[in-house]
Copies of this chain bind each other. A is one copy, B any other.
């Protein structure tokens, strides 16, 4: 904190960029000169430049259209205003790249049209947002508009007469910045939002700060950096850099929103670096922005972000990541793996100096592969609110990832998914996380906003691969309660050669219940691929019904128990908390074996879930889609293990990846699971031991100390006449 105060002081006194050159936001004149001079030397970047020019030329061809606001995301007018800011952005840059006046004129004309429209606008006619905009249905989009337009304005600033500037600033930028900062009339929602520690506020401060730089309004810049009270004690961009990322660079809403959140951070930071280099913004808080980018990359699989919380299918190719990679690589070119992110997933560049240098250094052959490492990413500003753990296969050719989530709630985009797991393998999501129910930008689908099934299903606990108690969600689905607590990653060991392990714990999600989950990724000498052992321990003060669902992505192959399949009629599994959306497709009990086995396949590989059950255990196959009047839910399927009337219970599961299925050659091998038995051998307060037995007399014994996380501490257990000794919470023994 001391550092922060000093820095604030320094800035408050030196925030004096008296003579402002243009351009000086996205790039400086020197950088433009470098880009121009290097034309022809880096073909990949030339392509970006010509795409930018093409986009600008395409804009020039269509008449300027600045219609009165009328609709929401995906609507024609909404999309027009969106395409307008891109048009101005591209034309602004095109002007700098070519010096051709027509691009500048186009931006000027459009700005003048906006300057005529804007003063006539009240609040947007769609009253959908608690923070309504004027040009868009929510202020957030207005901030995004202004971020892009600030850059365009900066690019063409020198081409405008002072009369033009005065008109545009007075009628458009000043009232818009004031509106974003303070709201309008009696509605001060914007002022609250502007000063919040929230990613919408990052857009708001970036918008106000950037137009402040462009107009040379120091007061706007100060408010953007330090909040509308200019103290830095309540709001502002600098404080957001302190609050919105954990020390590990994790953003509490999860990777999908971290992608969105990082965009205004890097773009405003780039402008700050140009105009106020004395702030050394990219080095701020141990280079927190670079750390955030590297965490984002680590939270992806095959270039797509893990689907935790309200996630849709986006990843390293998203435009936000292009900005982040190019700007942050330019700020610190030491991390050469950023080049391979750009090369593999983006293949497009920011038309600015960072984009040029990334393309150039790729061409120079400097890129190094991203190393995906098993890691724990802590949540919370101080890193003390749980976290998400990721286990990666050490051999990148295996290309597997396992996640265990034990974070805080994750604000409004969080799900009730304490200790949920997901499994990615062979390029595919295998044990899945539904993510969000939303059809972004599809107006016919709830105007592109979250659908009601996001609340009624996607956020509920049953939508996740974790324990559901008595068919209710964590914290009874109450976000206020959930936001008070967090789970914890209480143990991890990624150092052993043949196994990696993480343990998470939660004591708040259900009253009177403690749950612990141990996830071990084990390399054996006898199985084709590494094995996953999942031990989910529940201890309660009274009896409950426990559901253990695994949502799987693949086609059903076999179940080793007699089951009844719904033939002519399908009914729902339950009536609320997400259960109303589940069709009960098949059900059965395993009376002949204490291990229930389910096999499915995805592409050319097979997966077998083998889990310890009793003849009383109910096994169910579920399909999503009931109570979905508007066809908002995707088709997904789950395997569910139900234990009734249990106080303490340990779910012990072997997740075996096996088989080769070569469609081109029409050959197949190892399509049958090797797992013969999964058994909880010891389960006391102090120790739990799970043994999974495989064909050929092989077995994996996982020994857990339930009460001590000390890695040096030695434990021993006598099992089946043999003494097993290990150090730390988890020991593994293979035969």
Contacts from A to B (Cβ < 8 Å): 74, 79, 82-83, 86, 312-314, 317-319, 439-445, 448, 555-558, 565, 567-572, 580, 583, 585-586, 599, 601, 621, 623, 625-631, 634-635, 661, 663-669, 671-672
Could you write out 13 A-B pairs with CB less than 8 Å apart?
A74-B671, A79-B669, A314-B663, A317-B664, A439-B557, A440-B666, A441-B666, A442-B557, A443-B671, A444-B557, A565-B630, A568-B580, A621-B631
Please give, as numbers and ranges, the residues of chain B lying within 8 Å of A314 by CB-CB distance: 663-664
Please give, as numbers and ranges, the residues of chain B lying within 8 Å of A555 by CB-CB distance: 439, 631, 634
Copy total for this chain: 2
Given contacts A74-B671, A569-B569, A569-B571, contact A663 B558 (CB under 8 A): no
User: Which residue in B570, B599, B635 is a CB contact (below 8 Å) of A570?
Assistant: B570
Q: Verify B74–A665 contact, CB threshold 8 A.
A: no
Given contacts A445-B557, A661-B441, contact A627 B667 (CB under 8 A): no
Q: Verify B626–A671 contact, CB threshold 8 A.
A: no
Please give, as numbers and ranges, the residues of chain B lying within 8 Å of A583 by CB-CB distance: 570
Closest CB of chain B to A2's CB: distance in Å? 41
User: Which residue in B86, B317, B630, B663 is a CB contact (below 8 Å) of A440?
Assistant: B663
Closest CB of chain B to A62's CB: distance in Å? 12
Please give, as numbers and ranges, the residues of chain B lying within 8 Å of A629 by CB-CB distance: 565, 567
User: Which residue in B319, B444, B568, B661 is a CB contact (below 8 Å) of A599?
Assistant: B444
Please give, as numbers and ranges, the residues of chain B lying within 8 Å of A317 by CB-CB distance: 664
Please give, as numbers and ranges, the residues of chain B lying within 8 Å of A672 by CB-CB distance: 443-444
Q: Verify B669–A627 contact, CB threshold 8 A.
A: no
A567 to B628, CA, bound (A): 7
Please give, as numbers and ranges, the residues of chain B lying within 8 Å of A668 by CB-CB distance: 74, 79, 441-443, 448
A547 to B565, CA, bound (A): 28
Q: Verify A565–B442 contact, CB threshold 8 A.
A: no
A671 to B75, CA, bound (A): 9
Please give, as numbers and ranges, the residues of chain B lying within 8 Å of A625 by CB-CB distance: 585, 623
Closest CB of chain B to A378's CB: distance in Å? 30
Please give, as numbers and ranges, the residues of chain B lying within 8 Å of A443 by CB-CB distance: 668, 671-672
Q: Verify B568–A571 contact, CB threshold 8 A.
A: yes
Please give, as numbers and ranges, the residues of chain B lying within 8 Å of A556 by CB-CB distance: 631
A666 to B438, CA, bound (A): 13
Give the residue name and chain of the B residue nearest to A627 (CB): B567
A269 to B317, CA, bound (A): 49
Closest CB of chain B to A587's CB: distance in Å? 13
Give the residue name and chain of the B residue nearest to A669 (CB): B79
Please give, as numbers and ranges, the residues of chain B lying within 8 Å of A312 by CB-CB distance: 663
What are the 9 A-B residue pairs with the smallest beta carbon separation, nearest first? A556-B631, A570-B570, A441-B668, A444-B558, A565-B629, A444-B557, A635-B635, A74-B668, A567-B627
Which of A557, A586, A599 is the most central at the interface, judged by chain B CB atoms within 10 Å of its CB? Answer: A557
Please give, as numbers and ranges, the residues of chain B lying within 8 Å of A313 by CB-CB distance: 663
Give the residue name and chain of the B residue nearest to A78 (CB): B668
User: Which residue in B601, B628, B634, B664 is a CB contact (below 8 Å) of A319?
Assistant: B664
A665 to B87, CA, bound (A): 13
A661 to B625, CA, bound (A): 25
Q: Verify A667–B82 contact, CB threshold 8 A.
A: yes
Please give, as numbers and ranges, the residues of chain B lying within 8 Å of A572 by CB-CB distance: 568-569
Closest CB of chain B to A449's CB: distance in Å? 13
Closest CB of chain B to A584's CB: distance in Å? 11
Closest CB of chain B to A325's CB: distance in Å? 14
Q: Verify B667–A441 contact, CB threshold 8 A.
A: yes
Give the residue name and chain of the B residue nearest to A635 (CB): B635
A625 to B663, CA, bound (A): 25
A626 to B555, CA, bound (A): 16
Please give, as numbers and ranges, the residues of chain B lying within 8 Å of A439 by CB-CB distance: 555, 557
A569 to B669, CA, bound (A): 40
A668 to B666, CA, bound (A): 42
A665 to B444, CA, bound (A): 19
Closest CB of chain B to A258's CB: distance in Å? 16
Closest CB of chain B to A256's CB: distance in Å? 12
Closest CB of chain B to A257's CB: distance in Å? 13
A679 to B548, CA, bound (A): 54
Give the residue name and chain of the B residue nearest to A440 (CB): B666
Which of A312, A557, A570, A635 is the most central at the interface, judged by chain B CB atoms within 10 Å of its CB? Answer: A570
Please give, as numbers and ranges, the residues of chain B lying within 8 Å of A634 by CB-CB distance: 555
Closest CB of chain B to A312's CB: distance in Å? 8
Closest CB of chain B to A193's CB: distance in Å? 21
A630 to B665, CA, bound (A): 26
A572 to B83, CA, bound (A): 47
Give the residue name and chain of the B residue nearest to A631 (CB): B556
Closest CB of chain B to A331's CB: distance in Å? 23
Please give, as numbers and ranges, the residues of chain B lying within 8 Å of A567 by CB-CB distance: 626-627, 629
Q: Verify A627–B557 contact, CB threshold 8 A.
A: no
A629 to B580, CA, bound (A): 23
Given contacts A441-B668, A444-B558, A668-B79, contact A631 B565 (CB under 8 A): yes
Please give, as numbers and ranges, the residues of chain B lying within 8 Å of A319 by CB-CB distance: 664-665
Please give, as numbers and ranges, the residues of chain B lying within 8 Å of A626 by CB-CB distance: 567-568, 570
Which of A317, A555, A572 is the most central at the interface, judged by chain B CB atoms within 10 Å of its CB? Answer: A555
Closest CB of chain B to A124's CB: distance in Å? 19
A74 to B443, CA, bound (A): 48
Give the residue name and chain of the B residue nearest to A443 (CB): B671
A601 to B570, CA, bound (A): 26
